[in-house]
Amino acid sequence: MTDTHQHSYSETEKPKGGAWKRGLHMLVFLILFGVAESLLALGAILQFFWYLFAGRRNELIADIGRDLSVWMKDVVDFQTGNTEVRPFPWDKSIQ
């Protein structure tokens, strides 16, 4: 799988806006990541019951899950310092 995002930065590049601002964003994303985990669990349960009763997957649930997984990956990259690009809703680029 190839990553189409070019979010990484050099080790000598300093984060813009200071450490406290980054820390605040990290705290917000930590909370939002917890919400995303709950949505992931709900989506998995709904998808299971959809399979159980309809015999096939629900495309909408699958699409939401795919988008959620991309967002969660972007949050993990930001939280672990692999990038300084903040994920949605701060990142204005729509893919």
pLDDT of 17 > 50? The answer is yes
Residue with tokens 């949050």: 75
What pLDDT is stored for residue 88 in this prediction?
87
Distance (Å, whole) CA 21 – CA 40:
28
CA distances from 36 to 4, 11, 46 (A): 22, 29, 15
**Average of per-residue pLDDT values in the chain:** 85
- pTM, two decimals, is 0.75
Q: Is 2 helix (H, G, I), strand (E, B) or coil?
A: coil
